[in-house]
Amino acid sequence: MLTLYTSPTPNGHKVSILLEELEVPYAVHAIDLLAKEQLAPDYLEINPNGRIPAIVDDGFAVFESGAIMIYLAEKHGGFLPTDAKGRSEVIQWLMFQMAGIGPMMGQANVFFRYFPERLPSVIDRYQKESRRLFEVLEGRLDGRDYLCDEYSIADMASWAWVRHHEWAGISIDGLPRVQDWLARIAERPAVQRGLLVPGGREIDPQEMLQAAKGMVVR
């Protein structure tokens, strides 16, 4: 049996969406970030980095959301091509999210929403870089519905973050392909189900803020 350890954050939703798309049976163990359950000794044995999400699949632990997505896609044969070039292309765009969109939007959230000091130059730096990354997505989506033509883990990963652009103070005005891509993915039933994990409903922005605080303050 597979168990997903998660919280209602973009990184958590990346994995729950994939599990719903794959139609893989799984149990959910909700991690209360505000209570710092992610730092409990039992959980640190699963994820030494003390973050979410993580999975345990028949006794095998996997942490880091991108690594989890690759593992699940490969094991269950979905949303990741098997040919070398196709697989590489999807992983490149997955890493684009992991190394760029996630960290930049995460910092934009921190400094725009709840950092104790108002630092306009810092806020501007992260919002502008996030917008630049969105513009890269806009260019990539020219002539295609999804980042690698067919819907893949790369789309799920970036979508889970980009959908929160307003909360980070980042406009997607003038990015019609990104807007259409966001709407297209949001219509998928498995995506809608994945957003309800672990709480049975989609997290609202204020709750997301509290969850983010729990992840930042160790």
pLDDT score recorded for residue 215: 41
Rounded distance, CA 55 to CA 57, Å?
6
CATH number attached to the domain at 84-188: 1.20.1050.10
Amino acid, res. 18: L
Rounded distance, CA 92 to CA 116, Å?
35
Q: Between the CA of residue 117 and those of 110, 127, 131, 154, 208, what are the distances in Å?
A: 11, 17, 23, 35, 20
Q: Between the CA of residue 43 and those of 1, 51, 53, 160, 180, what are the distances in Å?
A: 17, 9, 11, 24, 38
Rounded distance, CA 4 to CA 69, Å?
12
Q: Which residues partner with 3 through β-bridges? A: 27, 56
pLDDT score recorded for residue 206: 54
84-188 has the same fold as 2-78+191-216: no
CA-wise closest residue to 102 among 36, 25, 33, 14: 14
List phi, psi (to 5°) of 211: -65, -40
Task: Quote the crossing angle between the two packed helices 84-96 and 65-76, to the nearest 10°.
Answer: 150
pLDDT score recorded for residue 217: 32
Q: Where are the domains of the chain?
A: 2-78+191-216, 84-188
Q: Which residue is listed with tokens 């999210």? A: 97
Structure tokens at 143: 């002539």
Rounded distance, CA 165 to CA 173, Å?
11
Options 1.10.10.1100, 3.40.30.10, 3.30.70.20, 3.10.450.50; CATH for 2-78+191-216 is 3.40.30.10
Per-residue model confidence as pLDDT tens for the chain (218 residues) = 999 999 999 999 999 999 999 999 999 999 999 999 999 999 999 999 999 999 999 999 999 999 999 999 999 999 999 999 999 999 999 999 999 999 999 999 999 998 988 999 999 999 999 999 999 999 999 999 999 999 999 999 999 999 999 999 999 999 999 999 999 999 999 999 999 999 865 555 555 555 544 444 32
Q: Between the CA of residue 197 and those of 3, 18, 60, 131, what are the distances in Å?
A: 12, 12, 21, 28
CA-wise closest residue to 5 among 24, 26, 29, 27: 29
pLDDT score recorded for residue 114: 81
